[in-house]
């Protein structure tokens, strides 16, 4: 007797924030790709992260056109890390693929990712070949962030690898077990490990809309990444304090010797003011770093949810 074996499922997770102008083109390309993977079932889990344009309207229209699309409407804008977490929690696939809606990540690469997964890789990373489409300042800052983070962090983030990747269900389940609420997903992806392989791609320019990551948000994300996976910014102040104390001791000894040998000079106001301001600045920087970590402890201690789903559309609960 022939038994029909259920198809394995691929989940494509798509965080969306003000992406309305490009969604129709996005779904057209994604559906043309998944249609070639005939031996797999699939779902496209879209997360509307509090968009202020017509993103939710277009997503709901797509739900009526394609039963494989699921839409999670968050109650407000929680940020991409939270939206991505919501998508991973909702995904039911045997393999999960986070994918940006701006088409800078080519959906056609999914076919090669699936092939690598079938060959035994638990995680298939998509690495950018170059950053020519980025602004020069952004390229420089990104390069130095990866260097600094990987130098001081407990886990290494692969360079030029973003959220675009394929993850086996076991990897996603491991990510769900991590309890932190302020989530730096690139770091969490790296921390869980598993067997990995890499495919390279050329990032395309955005087809429509603008990136929501400005300089302030990028700085905040970098700070989040460093404080999430390293305590070096805290311990470094021990060495700074020791260095300042040593220099002060040597300077004090020199002043005593000089005074005994040559007499006392009139102390200078400028040098005294410089020393006070220098030490005050050092102390304030140390307090600021300490405050960043205390802020994280405070945020985690409240145990608020990472996100709140206002409504779910499509899938088994058809609400549109």
pLDDT in the model for residue 209 = 52
Residues in the chain with pLDDT values less than 50: 1-2, 317-320
pLDDT in the model for residue 242 = 72
Work out how many domains the chain is built from and give that number: 2
| Same-domain pairing of 283 and 309 | no
How many Cα atoms within 13 Å fall on the side-chain side of residue 2? 1
pTM: predicted TM-score of the whole model, two decimal places: 0.73
Axis-axis angle for helices 23-34, 109-118 (nearest 10): 40
CATH label of the domain that carries residue 15: 3.90.550.10
10, β-bridge pairs? 42, 95
| Same-domain pairing of 166 and 282 | no
pLDDT in the model for residue 320 = 44
The answer as to whether 212 is a domain residue is: yes
The answer as to whether 120 is a domain residue is: yes
How many Cα atoms within 13 Å fall on the side-chain side of residue 290? 8
The answer as to whether 68 is a domain residue is: yes
| Same-domain pairing of 147 and 265 | no
The answer as to whether 225 is a domain residue is: no
| Same-domain pairing of 238 and 205 | no
Which pLDDT tens digit goes with each residue over 202-235?
777 666 555 555 556 666 666 666 666 666 777 7
Which pLDDT tens digit goes with each residue over 73-110?
898 888 888 888 888 988 888 889 998 888 888 888 88
The answer as to whether 105 is a domain residue is: yes
Q: Are 188 and 1 in contact (CB under 8 A)?
A: no
| Same-domain pairing of 62 and 182 | yes
pLDDT in the model for residue 22 = 81
| Same-domain pairing of 79 and 30 | yes
Domain that holds residue 79: 9-216+305-314
Which token pair is 270? 């400028």
The answer as to whether 319 is a domain residue is: no
The answer as to whether 227 is a domain residue is: no
pLDDT in the model for residue 79 = 83
pLDDT in the model for residue 5 = 62
pLDDT in the model for residue 219 = 65
| Same-domain pairing of 133 and 267 | no
| Same-domain pairing of 291 and 310 | no
């Amino acid at each position: 007797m022939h038994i029909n074996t259920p198809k394995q499922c691929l989940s494509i997770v798509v965080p969306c924030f003000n992406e309305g102008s490009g969604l129709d083109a996005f779904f057209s390309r994604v559906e043309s790709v998944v249609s070639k993977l005939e031996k797999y079932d699939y779902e496209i889990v879209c997360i509307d992260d509090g968009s202020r344009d017509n993103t939710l309207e277009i997503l709901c229209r797509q739900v009526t056109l394609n039963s494989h699309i699921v839409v999670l409407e968050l109650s407000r804008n929680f940020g991409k890390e939270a939206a991505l977490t919501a998508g991973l929690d909702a995904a039911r696939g045997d393999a999960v693929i986070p994918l940006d809606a701006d088409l800078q990540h080519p959906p056609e690469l999914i076919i090669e990712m699936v092939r690598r997964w079938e060959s035994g890789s638990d995680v298939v990373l998509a690495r950018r070949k170059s950053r020519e489409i980025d602004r020069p300042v952004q390229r420089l800052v990104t390069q130095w962030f990866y260097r600094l983070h990987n130098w001081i962090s407990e886990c290494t983030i692969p360079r030029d690898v973003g959220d675009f990747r394929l993850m086996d269900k076991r990897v996603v389940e491991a990510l769900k077990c991590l309890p932190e609420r302020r989530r730096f997903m690139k770091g969490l992806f790296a921390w869980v490990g598993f067997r990995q392989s890499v495919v390279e791609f050329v990032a395309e320019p955005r087809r429509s809309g603008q990136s929501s990551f400005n300089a302030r948000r990028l700085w905040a994300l970098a700070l989040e990444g460093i404080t999430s996976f390293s305590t070096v910014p805290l311990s470094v102040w021990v060495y700074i304090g020791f260095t300042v104390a040593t220099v002060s001791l040597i300077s004090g000894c020199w002043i005593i010797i000089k005074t005994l040998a040559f007499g006392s000079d009139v102390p200078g106001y400028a040098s005294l003011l410089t020393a006070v301001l220098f030490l005050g600045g050092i102390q304030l920087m140390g307090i600021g770093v300490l405050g960043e970590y205390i802020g994280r402890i405070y945020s985690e201690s409240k145990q608020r949810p990472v996100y709140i789903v206002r409504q779910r559309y499509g899938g088994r609960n058809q609400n549109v």
